Amino acid sequence: MNDKEFESVFSEELFNKIHKMIEEKKLSFGNIAMLLKHMGYWKTMKGMYIDGFIRSLLFERFEEMIAEEEKKKEEKNEKLLVDLCECYLLLSNGHILTNIVSIIVPCLLKATLNREENEETQKEVEMALQALSCIRAESFVEQKLYLNGMREIIQYHQEHHNLTRLAYYSVWEFLLHKLSFERSLKDIVANELHFAREARRELEELTRCVDWIEKDEDKRRKEKEEVIFLKKWIKVLNPYLLTCKIWNEELVGLMSCIVNVFGAAKENYREVREKCIESLKNSAFNKTVKVEDLLKSRAVDLALKIIVQFGTVEKLIAGSVVFFWHICVKLKGMNMKENDEAKRKEMKRMMFEKTEEEGYEDCIVVLSRCMANVTLQSQYYFI
């Protein structure tokens, strides 16, 4: 089902009908919650934006029910509150009101504490974390509400591997959404929780699971879970690679892994390749990333290969040219101190030798042209 089909089915009218059923008690809330969570699951898995819910009467009713249930003390129904919070987040496109953040986040984090090793418990934890991952970057959440809980979830999984693939991805997606506004999170994510290492492990595992040589178009159209998650991981990596200021060997390894994903993906999976090039282009733009990092990760080799072998594929060739443009900015010395002049010349020599020894004359021409004309204004224009 594509975006238009989703929107036509999950319309404002549908959610208003569900609201009416609740009012008239024609369906139990348990059945309604099950239906809404199933809808929300596929909405988030496909990354679709459906605004029928937030425009409906059901949206306002859920906000009221969450607030009312939280006010209760002895008679509070914890299961009902969890169901309300999950449905609300999964279907609301992250449009969460500030006054109920302090209710929803602790409620759903509490739901993840059950570590019984059975499929039902795993699915419950997965749903709670998936719902939390729907909270957008612009929604303010106090760090004290989530940091200790998220840290514990990740570290426990790293030791015991208790989470499903979706649950673990959802934890990271939530944290990465918060990075833009929480500077103190950056060191925790990079050095304490080892995000780059974990992302690389997930990508490597998914790459091994995908049948890259599938030729049946109908089977490819019905994307398998592994391909969906591969795209989701690379998508969430892109802004991180663009802005990360704590660069280490784990990130170089992650870039190398992205190069491998590109190599594994065949023509049938062009979208995966395009996302990989976007990641490498973002890494090259990042001022923290050094030219030697791009060489060590084989990102330069891949960009050279694309210019020679994929010259007719517009998105790939454009991404590769911009990748080299950013390298030229670095080699030009705009991001380097004066005492790095010798290093700059060495990196420049290595870049030209790499292109020349492989016989990529076209790449040398492109690189030379970029270096002759590079300006800061053009740098930002090509982003």
- Quick check: 30 pLDDT over 90? no
**Per-residue pLDDT, 72:** 87
pLDDT digits (tens, 9 = 90+) for 62-93: 999 999 999 987 778 999 999 999 999 999 88
Q: How far is CA 30 from the centre of its chain?
A: 31
Instruction: Assess if residue 317 is contained within a domain.
Output: yes
**Of 139-143, 157-161, 311-315, highest mean pLDDT:** 157-161
The residue to which tokens 């348990």 are assigned: 30
What is the rounded average pLDDT of the residues 221-245? 88
Instruction: Assess if residue 64 is contained within a domain.
Output: no
- Quick check: 176 pLDDT over 80? yes
Instruction: Assess if residue 24 is contained within a domain.
Output: no
**Per-residue pLDDT, 373:** 47
Q: What percent of the chain has pLDDT over 90?
A: 50
Instruction: Assess if residue 116 is contained within a domain.
Output: no
pLDDT digits (tens, 9 = 90+) for 322-370: 898 888 888 876 555 555 677 777 777 777 777 666 555 665 565 555 4
Q: What distance in Å separates the CA atoms of residue 234 and residue 346, rounded to the nearest whole number? A: 32
The residue to which tokens 């929803």 are assigned: 104
What is the rounded average pLDDT of the residues 20-28? 88
Instruction: Assess if residue 292 is contained within a domain.
Output: yes
Task: State the chain's mean pLDDT as an integer.
Answer: 85
**Per-residue pLDDT, 361:** 61
The residue to which tokens 């053009």 are assigned: 378
Cα separations (Å) of 349 from 13, 162, 292, 373? 64, 49, 12, 19
Instruction: Assess if residue 357 is contained within a domain.
Output: yes
Q: Which two tokens stand for residue 8?
A: 């036509």
**Per-residue pLDDT, 365:** 60
**Per-residue pLDDT, 221:** 58
**pLDDT, greater one: 186 or 10:** 186
**Per-residue pLDDT, 152:** 95
pLDDT digits (tens, 9 = 90+) for 250-286: 999 999 999 999 999 977 788 899 999 999 999 999 9
Instruction: Assess if residue 21 is contained within a domain.
Output: no
**What's the number of domains the chain is made of?**
1
CA proximity to 173, closest of 191, 194, 195: 195
Instruction: Assess if residue 339 is contained within a domain.
Output: yes
CA proximity to 174, closest of 132, 144, 142: 132
**Per-residue pLDDT, 343:** 74
pLDDT digits (tens, 9 = 90+) for 34-71: 999 999 998 888 888 888 899 999 999 999 999 999 99
Q: Which two tokens stand for residue 214?
A: 């599938």
Per-position DSSP letters for 139-156, written without gaps between them: S---HHHHHHHHHHHHHH
Q: What distance in Å separates the CA atoms of residue 58 and residue 77, rounded to the nearest whole number? A: 20
- Quick check: 379 pLDDT over 50? no
Q: What distance in Å separates the CA atoms of residue 150 and residue 87, rounded to the nearest whole number? A: 21
CA proximity to 259, closest of 207, 310, 222: 207
Q: Tell me the residue range of the domain where 331 lies.
A: 237-383
- Quick check: 158 pLDDT over 50? yes
